[in-house]
Amino acid sequence: MTADTAGRLPDLLYDDTERSLADALKTLLDSQAGLLARTESAETYDTALWRKVAADLGCAGLLIPERDGGAGASYREAASAAEELGAAVAPVPFVGSAVVATVALLACARSGSAEAERLLRRMADGELTVALAIGFATAPDAPFPRSVRVAGPHQGDKASGWARLRGSVRGVADALPAAMLLVPSDGVPHGLYAVDLSSARVTRSGVVSLDMTRQLCDISFDDAPATPIVSGSAAADAVNAALRAGACVLAAELLGVAQRCLDMTVAYVKERHQFARPVGSFQAVKVRLADLWVSVAQARAAARYAAACLATGAADAPVAVALAKAYCSDVAVQAAQECVQLHGGIGFTWEHPAHLYLKRAKADSLAFGTADAHRRSLASLVNLPAP
């Protein structure tokens, strides 16, 4: 058995701070235009929008303590923000920088890294955007990455304190708009390094991605100069914490995607007439939306529980995050698929945004561990062993 056998559960509702942050984001995001055109442009990330989200609304520093210039908020607020960003499929690196890279650096700072703390102070107000150089599909508790290695030093490295990294990472999310990378690197010992993306020895190439509202990139390091942050188990712990936080916040993002798909579809079937009546008056349509509404309501409880557990560092957090990511992945994909289907022909066109939600939902469902991967991790967490 795991914790929480007594049935005592944390607050699963939204408090006033969370609601007002979500409202402010929704107001900002509702006024955005040109989302579809951006997916076919040279700059798929909306850096102007990200500045507003990161700096003006303070989302960059939600998880950063106040003494480092952040908001000192918790995963609950980060999850609320992610819901709204998901609902708008906003092309901003919130998850990659304000959650994943931030959580990795917070773990490093707790291990005593002054460099991590310096970076966090620059990230808190949105000035610096950072990405963790790890494949977007990597699940929490995955083995430490080995595709980048510490290479031999160049002349002068000793004075500058640099290490050199060589290798490549495929399919990294939110690295295209970043100015700095955190790179898990193999070596003796393995470690986590900061790499400035202005270096000519780092190459990012944008990937034609399933979800172009969060375009991935492949990154190669050719003896790239790197600042060591932490090494050994501290690095592995930092990467793991980052992946778990990423899975938790993606679950909230998926909830936002699902809710918006449901809302759009309900509005459409009330309006669209065939056979001289709204298509939403046919039971074949109604029951599908009723079932979807039930699933979204359930997903909300799962996503809230995961955020609440990470916020307090509860012992049940690994279970809660696996549960939320497994459940919300399936529900969001179902919601986006229903959105396409129940919009009929228009839902299958390029011009209608339904496909952006479908692609975001499906891509997110594969990211930071599939539903299946999280269910398999639950098997060991809650003692339901495989045959």
Partner 1 sequence: MLKRESLRERVGELLKSADTSQRQEFLDARFEAGLAWVHFPEGLGGLGLPRQMQAIVDAELAAANAPDNEPDRIGIGLGMAAPTILAHGTDEQKQRWLKPLWTGRQVWCQLFSEPGAGSDLAALGTRAVRDGDGWVVNGQKVWTSSAHQAVWGLLVARTDPDVPKHAGLTYFACDMTAPGVEVRPLRQLTGEAEFNEVFLSDVRIPDSDRIGAVGQGWTVAMTTLMSERVSIGSSRAVPREAGMIGSVVKTWREHPELRTPGLHDRLLRLWVEAEVARLSAERLRQQLAAGKPGPEGSAAKLVFARLNQEISGLELELAGADGLRYDDWTMKRPERANFFGRGPGFRYLRAKGNSIEGGTSEILRNIVAERVLGLPPEPRTDKEVAWKDLPR
- How far apart CA 234 and CA 182 sit, in angstroms, is 14
Q: Report the nearest approach of partner 1 to the CB of residue 140 (Å).
A: 16
Neighbours of 362 (CB within 10 A): 17
Distance, CA of 204 to chain centre: 20
Strands 202-206 and 216-231: antiparallel
Tell me: does residue 315 bind partner 1 (CB under 8 A).
Answer: no
> Amino acid identity of 277?
R
Q: Report the nearest approach of partner 1 to the CB of residue 234 (Å).
A: 32
Q: Which stretch binds partner 1 (CB under 8 A): 10-18, 144-152, 232-240, 339-347?
A: 10-18
Task: Identify which of 208, 139, 214, 136 has the alpha carbon closest to the alpha carbon of residue 176.
Answer: 214
Nearer to partner 1, 132 or 320 (CB): 320
Q: Are 165 and 195 in contact (CB under 8 A)?
A: yes
Three-state DSSP at 336 gives helix
Binding residues for partner 1, total number by CB under 8 A: 48
Tell me: does residue 305 bind partner 1 (CB under 8 A).
Answer: yes
Task: Identify which of 359, 367, 366 has the alpha carbon closest to the alpha carbon of residue 336.
Answer: 359
Q: Report the nearest approach of partner 1 to the CB of residue 198 (Å).
A: 45
Nearer to partner 1, 48 or 267 (CB): 267
- How far apart CA 193 and CA 134 sit, in angstroms, is 12
- Pick from 37, 159, 208, 386 the residue near partner 1 by CB under 8 A: 386
Kind and range of the H or E run holding 278: strand 277-278
120 phi and psi angles, rounded to 5 deg: -60, -40
186 phi and psi angles, rounded to 5 deg: -80, 160
Q: Report the nearest approach of partner 1 to the CB of residue 277 (Å).
A: 7
Kind and range of the H or E run holding 222: strand 216-231
x/- track of binding to partner 1 for residues 280-299 (CB under 8 A): xx-x-xxx-xxx-xx--xxx
Neighbours of 8 (CB within 10 A): 7
x/- track of binding to partner 1 for residues 352-381 (CB under 8 A): -----------------------xx-xx--
Alpha helices in 52-129 (DSSP H): 75-87, 102-110, 114-123
Q: Which stretch binds partner 1 (CB under 8 A): 44-52, 111-119, 192-200, 278-286?
A: 278-286
Q: Report the nearest approach of partner 1 to the CB of residue 299 (Å).
A: 8
- Pick from 251, 323, 356, 358 the residue near partner 1 by CB under 8 A: 323
- How far apart CA 350 and CA 356 sit, in angstroms, is 9
Q: Which stretch binds partner 1 (CB under 8 A): 219-227, 252-260, 272-280, 348-356?
A: 272-280
Q: Report the nearest approach of partner 1 to the CB of residue 380 (Å).
A: 11
CA within 13 Å, CB half, 165: 34
List the structure tokens of 205. 């190439």
Q: Report the nearest approach of partner 1 to the CB of residue 329 (Å).
A: 11
Nearer to partner 1, 195 or 264 (CB): 264
- Pick from 12, 48, 114, 315 the residue near partner 1 by CB under 8 A: 12
Q: Which stretch binds partner 1 (CB under 8 A): 29-37, 116-124, 161-169, 276-284?
A: 276-284
Q: Report the nearest approach of partner 1 to the CB of residue 101 (Å).
A: 29
Q: Report the nearest approach of partner 1 to the CB of residue 305 (Å).
A: 5
Class of residue 99 by CB neighbours under 10 A (exposed 0-12, middle 13-18, buried 19+): buried
- How far apart CA 105 and CA 262 sit, in angstroms, is 36
Tell me: does residue 382 bind partner 1 (CB under 8 A).
Answer: yes
Q: State the residues that interact with partner 1 by CB under 8 A.
A: 1-2, 4-9, 11-13, 266, 269-270, 277-278, 280-281, 283, 285-287, 289-291, 293-294, 297-302, 304-305, 323, 326-327, 375-376, 378-379, 382-387
